[in-house]
Amino acid sequence: MNQPPENDNDKARIARFIRNNLPAILQHWDEFARSIPAARHMPADRLRDHAAGMLGAIAADLDQPQTPSEQAAKGRGRAPPHARDTQAELHGSGRMSAGFTVSDTVAEFRALRASVMRLWADHDGDGNDLANDDLIRFNEAVDQALTESLAAYFVEKDEVTHRFDTLLSATPDLHYIVDTDGHVLYANRALARLFSTPGKSPCEHRLADFCPAFAAQIERDLRAVGQTRAIGRGELQCTAPDGAVHTYRYVLMPVINKDGEVDSITGTARNISELKASEAKILRNAYYDSLTSLPNRTLFRERLEHDVRHAARTEFALALLFIDLDGFKEVNDRFGHDTGDQLLQHCAQRLQGCVRATDTVARIGGDEFTIILNEVSKLAFVEVLVGEILTELARPFSIGGKLVHVSGSIGISLCPQDTQQPDDLLRNADQAMFVAKHGGRNRFSYFTPDIRDSAWARLKVIDELRQALARCELLVYYQPIVELATEAIVKAEALVRWRHPDGSLVLPERFIGIAEEAGLIGEIDAWVLSQAVPCAVRLAELTGTPFQISVNKSPVEFMSRLVKNTWDEDLALLGRAGPRIAVEITEGVLLDDSPGVRDKLARLQQAGVQLTIDDFGIGYSSMAYLNKFKVDFLKIDQSFVKDMLTTNPNSQIFAETIIAMAHKLGLKVIAEGVETAAQRDWLRQAGCDYAQGFLFSQATSEECFAQLLRAAPGCRA
């Protein structure tokens, strides 16, 4: 068994030397350490603390006795393992964290050894033989410490590398390092999975191998980064092992070594397939209608401008069709918006089936479509195509087990015959469509200068009408409604008139339709109501009995979601007026059984308003709707009254039927358009309750109407 050599206290002399001369050693050490690259910018106290700790550990090691075999093993750097981390191991881990390289760590120990040996050589100690023994023991301790430090250094480096790899592999992004020739030095797991060769390490690949279709692009970008040292960027598409196609956006960055040369290239690539799909969707939404997949207004305008320029360079004409569906609103309201949406989709398909691939079919809003016909050589071609479109739209649509019917009104504008400006082409086609729709629907109309002039005149009327309320140009006239049994004036209808700036008195049939189309009807009806309510109060005071005035509410106010109206204000006023006001609506309002219409009618009834159906008998009448909405009065249309005793005896049958039906339902009947005593007498005999017409009085001002009441028997005024 090996025994420790004698004179162990002598062998620890250098340990005492280190402890006694530690400040001088560290000062000398500091001069050496500053030549180490990684130590140049390290704080002096931190640098010295590590050195002092290592010297203390070496001194402690020298204090420990050792056998010859232990000494031999230590000389080879193979001392027995310690139960816990040694100072040298902690030193190695610390230096790894501080950014020291292996060369820096070895240089640090070399400087440490040199500092001790330099001072020992200058020391006035004992003889050389003993000093040599001490130095041998000292060098063995230093070698052992260096071995332990480097072992810990590499363990820490492996841990850092493992953590680095774990971090980069935890992300779906591709991370990689390649040499300047493109050979893979490092690939995280996400990239490794994309290399198609099974059983082959990622480092046996070139970076371009993961996407062969773009290999040339990748190699070109790598060369550019290596040559210019600039960051490289790009995009590529590659097919994954599962067959899915993915788009990657990548970045390449040069790694510059201490000599200022590019020795490798690092990079990352991100899968942006979802981003690309989102961008494509946004782009499509910007240019295509989401319901029909047709070009929308934006793309239509761009194509129209392009096609107009193309037509200007060729001898061919261009035709623009503006198509509006007839009866779409009725389908939408009766069967619901889902059916309406499907109808628009079917219409879009039929329109596309009528045109060439070079033509453009677009949906520009609601039930309005446009078609750009390019390279039109003959006008007859346009008319034939338009005829086919009208035929296709008029064919029944089968939607949800129901047959749905619509038709189309088409306006046509030609380039260059009509204009060479895209905006004017669209405006002209729109105006021509308007003429076709008012001409009976299911037909087409070419744009003409007369249409333009008429449209300008119409726009002028709209502009003047917008200012009529502000300028107090509107008037309310009142036409008497008499009770046929007594011929007493018991009610009146409020009728609007327009005192035009030119001095003429314009009747409602000349401007109400325009007001409805322009969205002004709500304001006009609300103003008439505001005038009629106080008038009814004044007339009741005049007669000494309740007096009722009927006001008209346009169907547009009930059925359009776009018209600007003042329903809340109107209802509040009607609620205060009570039975003094009755509201006249058309049959079409009742038949439009949409939620919006039902809500408005219900709110009118909740306000205590009586309902009158105007022009009854000329539309699609329904007793079920009369009962459902609790109508109070029916007005026989004047067309039946006019002909009942002259050209059309059947009008008597219609009038008698309406009166009998109304009375069975508990309703009162008003006949309008009564102009002769014979008509009055026949209506009285038939059981009609009230009458209105020129026989009794034309519509007149409130002042004149009051005079009529004063002249009536029984008036207390």
Q: What is the DSSP string of 278-343?
A: HHHHHHHHHHB-TTT-SB-HHHHHHHHHHHHHHHHHSS-EEEEEEEEEETHHHHHHHH-HHHHHHH
Q: What pLDDT, on a 0 to 100 scale, did the predictor assign at position 77?
A: 53
Whether residues 157 and 177 share a domain: the answer is no
What is the rounded distance in angstroms from the CA atom of residue 438 to the CA atom of residue 461? 18
Q: What pLDDT, on a 0 to 100 scale, did the predictor assign at position 315?
A: 79
What is the rounded distance in angstroms from the CA atom of residue 184 to the CA atom of residue 194? 13
- Who has greater pLDDT, 97 or 188? 188
What is the rounded distance in angstroms from the CA atom of residue 632 to the CA atom of residue 552? 15
713 in a domain, yes or no? no
Whether residues 164 and 93 share a domain: the answer is yes
Strand partners, 255: 264
Q: Looking at beta carbons, which pairs linking 27-35 to residues 24 or more positions away fall under 8 Å?
A: 28/115, 28/118, 28/119, 29/111, 29/112, 29/115, 32/110, 32/111, 32/112, 32/114, 32/115, 33/108, 33/111, 35/107, 35/111
Beta strand 668-672 pairing with 690-692 = parallel
453 in a domain, yes or no? no
The identity of residue 87, as a single letter, is Q
Whether residues 46 and 179 share a domain: the answer is no
567-581: buried (b, 16+ CB within 10 Å) or exposed (e) per residue?
beebbebbeebeebb
The mean-pLDDT minimum among 152-161, 370-379, 511-520, 595-604 falls in 152-161
Neighbours of 1 (CB within 10 A): 4
**Helix, strand, or coil (residue 259):** coil
Provide the token pair at 460. 């002028």
User: What mean pLDDT, rounded, does the chain reach?
Assistant: 81
CA angle 206, 207, 213 (to 5 degrees): 100
Beta strand 262-271 pairing with 407-415 = unpaired
DSSP letter assigned to residue 82: P
- Confidence check: pLDDT of 621 > 60: no
What is the rounded distance in angstroms from the CA atom of residue 581 to the CA atom of residue 572? 12
- Confidence check: pLDDT of 567 > 70: no
Share of the chain above pLDDT 90, in %: 29
**Average pLDDT of span 587-608:** 75
715 in a domain, yes or no? no
Whether residues 426 and 559 share a domain: the answer is no
Q: What pLDDT, on a 0 to 100 scale, did the predictor assign at position 505?
A: 92
pLDDT in tens, 298-343: 999 999 999 999 988 887 889 999 999 998 988 887 788 899 999 9
CATH code (residue 188): 3.30.450.20
Of the residues 126, 147, 168, the one at which a domain ends = 168
**Average pLDDT of span 678-693:** 94
What is the rounded distance in angstroms from the CA atom of residue 551 to the CA atom of residue 611? 10
What is the rounded distance in angstroms from the CA atom of residue 691 to the CA atom of residue 509? 21
Q: What pLDDT, on a 0 to 100 scale, did the predictor assign at position 7?
A: 47
Strands (E), 454-564: 474-483, 488-499, 505-506, 548-552
**Average pLDDT of span 459-480:** 88
Whether residues 357 and 441 share a domain: the answer is yes
User: Would you place residue 282 in the very low, low, confident or very high pLDDT band (cuts 50, 70, 90)?
Assistant: confident
457 in a domain, yes or no? no
pLDDT in tens, 113-170: 777 777 777 765 544 444 566 667 777 777 777 777 777 666 666 666 666 666 666 6
Of the residues 221, 245, 276, the one at which a domain ends = 276
Provide the token pair at 41. 């910018």
Whether residues 25 and 112 share a domain: the answer is yes
DSSP letter assigned to residue 81: P
* Cβ–Cβ under 8 Å, residues 498 and 473: yes
CATH code (residue 520): 3.20.20.450
The mean-pLDDT minimum among 71-80, 133-142, 387-396, 575-584 falls in 71-80
What is the rounded distance in angstroms from the CA atom of residue 656 to the CA atom of residue 649? 11
What is the rounded distance in angstroms from the CA atom of residue 369 to the CA atom of residue 325? 8
Q: What pLDDT, on a 0 to 100 scale, did the predictor assign at position 83?
A: 43
Among left, alpha and beta (phi > 0; psi -120 to 50; other), residue 448 is beta
Strand partners, 630: none
**Average pLDDT of span 440-450:** 87
- Find, among 413, 404, 326, 412, the residue nearest to 367 by Cα: 326
Neighbours of 117 (CB within 10 A): 15
714 in a domain, yes or no? no
- Find, among 109, 115, 140, 121, the residue nearest to 11 by Cα: 140
* Cβ–Cβ under 8 Å, residues 550 and 494: yes
1 in a domain, yes or no? no
- Confidence check: pLDDT of 663 > 70: yes
Whether residues 369 and 406 share a domain: the answer is yes
Q: Structural domain tally of the chain?
A: 4
**Average pLDDT of span 696-712:** 91
The pTM (predicted TM-score) of the whole model is 0.51
Whether residues 97 and 129 share a domain: the answer is yes
- Confidence check: pLDDT of 289 > 70: yes
What is the rounded distance in angstroms from the CA atom of residue 637 to the CA atom of residue 615? 4
Q: What pLDDT, on a 0 to 100 scale, did the predictor assign at position 477?
A: 96
Among left, alpha and beta (phi > 0; psi -120 to 50; other), residue 256 is beta
Range of the domain at 556: 467-708
User: Would you place residue 554 in the very low, low, confident or very high pLDDT band (cuts 50, 70, 90)?
Assistant: confident
Provide the token pair at 24. 């001088």
What is the rounded distance in angstroms from the CA atom of residue 438 to the CA atom of residue 440? 5
What is the rounded distance in angstroms from the CA atom of residue 186 to the CA atom of residue 179? 10
Whether residues 183 and 162 share a domain: the answer is no
pLDDT in tens, 235-275: 998 877 677 888 999 999 998 887 888 889 988 888 888 88
Strand partners, 548: 491
Q: What pLDDT, on a 0 to 100 scale, did the predictor assign at position 1?
A: 38
Q: What pLDDT, on a 0 to 100 scale, did the predictor assign at position 454?
A: 75
Of the residues 150, 168, 186, the one at which a domain ends = 168
298 in a domain, yes or no? yes
Whether residues 71 and 60 share a domain: the answer is yes
Strands (E), 160-310: 174-178, 184-187, 232-239, 245-256, 262-271
Whether residues 255 and 198 share a domain: the answer is yes
462 in a domain, yes or no? no
DSSP letter assigned to residue 353: H
CATH code (residue 100): 1.10.490.70
Whether residues 493 and 439 share a domain: the answer is no
Q: What pLDDT, on a 0 to 100 scale, did the predictor assign at position 424?
A: 92
Residue 184 phi/psi, 5-degree rounding, is -75, 125
